[in-house]
Amino acid sequence: GQQLNQSPQSMFIQEGEDVSMNCTSSSIFNTWLWYKQDPGEGPVLLIALYKAGELTSNGRLTAQFGITRKDSFLNISASIPSDVGIYFCAGSNNDMRFGAGTRLTVKP
């Protein structure tokens, strides 16, 4: 099946530091997406990437769609306490599959 390997599983960082997480797959995806989930809520879309090689920013977030279409990364610059949560990568062809998530903790 279409497995997504997301790393790291968790990160503990100091406020103000930059964060990087990534996702790889053995399968090609037409679209890569990044979501954030807060406790008690559903995942919320952060960034969607539609083209191999595409680099997209959304405020302090930057994500790239790998050239091979089998990977993507998400960077968060100058982290703040409200960045805490679980970040999921997702790959989509006809349906959408999710990575296992990266749990981010930001210490003030």
Partner 1 sequence: DAGVIQSPRHEVTEMGQEVTLRCKPISGHNSLFWYRQTMMRGLELLIYFNNNVPIDDSGMPEDRFSAKMPNASFSTLKIQPSEPRDSAVYFCASSWAPGGGSPLHFGNGTRLTVT
* Rounded least distance, CB 55 to partner 1, Å: 17
Residue 1: count of CB within 10 angstroms of its CB: 5
- Residue closer to partner 1 by CB (options 43, 79) is 43
How many CA atoms lie less than 13 Å away from 32 in the CB half-sphere? 31
- Residue closer to partner 1 by CB (options 23, 79) is 23
* Rounded least distance, CB 49 to partner 1, Å: 9
* Rounded least distance, CB 2 to partner 1, Å: 10
Contacts (Cβ under 8 Å, ≥6 apart) of 70? 24, 25, 26, 27, 28, 29
* Rounded least distance, CB 28 to partner 1, Å: 12
- Residue closer to partner 1 by CB (options 61, 79) is 61
- Residue closer to partner 1 by CB (options 62, 92) is 92
1 and 34 Cβ atoms separated by less than 8 Å: no
Cis peptide before 8 (omega within 30 of 0): yes
Please tell me what DSSP assigns to residue 82. Answer: G
Which residues contact partner 1 (rule: CB under 8 A)?
Answer: 29-31, 33, 40-45, 48, 50, 88, 90, 92-101
